[in-house]
Amino acid sequence: MNVLYGVGFVAACLIALLMTPVVKRFAFRVGAVDAPNHRKVHSRIMPRLGGLAIFTAFVGAYLVISPAIGSINTDVALGLLTGGTIIVIVGALDDRFDLSPKVKLLGQLIAASIVVYSGAVIDLVNVPFGDTTISLTWLAIPLTIFWIVGVTNAINFIDGLDGLSAGVSGIATTTILVLAVMMGNVTVVLLSVILLGSIVGFLFYNFHPAKIFMGDSGSLFLGFSLATLSILGFKQATVLSLLVPIMILGVPLSDTFFAILRRWVNNLPISKPDKSHLHHCLLQLGFSHRVTVLIIYGVASVFGLSAVLLSYMSERQVIWGMVVMIAVLLAILVLGAEAIGIISQTKKPVLRFLQKVRELRSTDTRMPK
């Protein structure tokens, strides 16, 4: 079985390596290109549609390897492939024609509904420290669709630097793969392996300096796939373990949260694009393009490692482990966000509070006793 997974990874990687140059030429031919502007980091016209290479590699590797693995859940696998096809079509059309947000959202809702219809639904929650099981009943479907659409767009939002979205998605996919192996979930292991191979093959052309962008066809497909795989792997988990997929996707979800908060604080429409995402802030601090991407890779790896450690904890350890882990991660996120100005360059209440505390302590030490 392990050999088959290896074959699937290699097949996906090779198909992506072979297809990306073909897709690059096709993108130039049909005019699916990304021109530089005040919000973009690149300075020359770049081909988009790289997501077609990732998707082709994913589907091709699945068709090669899935017949040899008889224990996979074909219904949910086909749900991911069918929904992914719709996502890639919508993304590719947006790469070429710049679709309206409403049209893209409609495509995402249809794709998410297909996954739900295939059986991938967050339907039960098992309460820890007991045998109580809570059925989400009518909340199950809207909650699942909300999760899929939210993660899909979160990955799309961080697609701002060469190799950033692909690399962060690769780290998240690796984390899901490790946890799926721990749980013996054959379907998620197979899908994660071939998705990871597709990402790695594409990264050869997408890491800085990139020769092609993945475009919305790629970022939307990766987000959609990660959302679906996280549901398949953790659809019936304890209340605390429901935070595991959130931690796995900590970088894109936190960047999306900070983007919404930033626009709310500055009285801007939530949908208004800006140049204050995490990668923009790191670039403004003086880090190079490649170093910025590697820093975010490191942050994503910390989130992924935290999710794995949490899953290794026993039931008795998990509450205190989760409390400590969440407290540390939140403190790092809040202090880091204010330090780099991802929410606001002027409104930094936590850092100002800490500065006042430091000043008060300095005053106390200087006072005569």
Binding residues: 156, 216
- Tell me if 169 sits within 8 A of 222, measured CB to CB: yes
Widest Cα–Cα separation across the chain: 81
For 330, other C-beta atoms within 10 Å of its C-beta total 11
Output Rg (C-alpha) for the chain, integer angstroms: 21
Amino acid in position 119: G
Place of tokens 């393009």: 289
Residues of each annotated binding site for Mg(2+): 156, 216
* E strand spans, 122-217: 124-126, 133-135
Place of tokens 């097949």: 11
Would you call 158 helix, strand, or coil by DSSP? coil
The CA-based angle 209-213-217, given to 5 degrees, is 160
- Tell me if 87 sits within 8 A of 58, measured CB to CB: no
* E strand spans, 44-118: 46-47
Q: What is the token pair recorded at 327? A: 């407290």
